Copies of this chain bind each other. A is one copy, B any other.
Amino acid sequence: MTVSVHLTRRPLSVAAAMRVLSGPGLGGVVVFAGRVRPDRTPAGRVTKLEYEGDLALARSVLADLERTAQRRFGAVRIVLWHRFGTIKVGEVSVLVGAACGHRSAAFDAARYLIEELKRSVPIWKTERARPARRPRRPPYRRRGRASG
């Protein structure tokens, strides 16, 4: 992967993101990775998420975000990568990165990008949970013997 904006079903690689986030004079690189958490829900513990998106529009909104971050923070290289499809607990669903001359701008740009991505990019997740096993009734202990 050598592109800024990417929507894919395949795992996201931070090492690949670092290769995109490099270039002469880019002294500060900040990467945010979002991982699927095993949250508790009424339906049980989350084991995976299903991500869907309005992909064509998502790509164009992400490209807008890239241009805005470049203009506003002087971020020279940007990564806005999102997985879709089934993503298991512990896996990375989103990778956002910014490479700038200095660290302050890189932090600000990366923070801006993930906040805006969540707010304005047409991507959704649906939780898949494993129902908590219902506690079995403890074996009934009879007092003495009963008939039958």
Contact = CB atoms under 8 A, between A and B. Distances in A.
Contact of A31 (B13, B14, B26, B27): B14
Contacts of A90: 22, 24
Nearest to A31: B31
A37 interface: yes
A56 interface: no
B34 A31 contact: no
Contact of A25 (B25, B31, B37, B107): B37
A114 interface: yes
Contacts of A36: 27
A30 B31 contact: yes
Number of copies of this kind of chain in the complex: 2
Contacts of A101: 37
B103 A114 contact: yes
A130 to B, nearest CB: 14
Contacts of A110: 30, 107
A87 to B, nearest CB: 12
A34 B30 contact: no
A6 to B, nearest CB: 17
Interface in A11-63: 13-15, 18, 22, 24-38
6 contacts: A18-B33, A27-B37, A30-B32, A31-B31, A32-B107, A34-B103
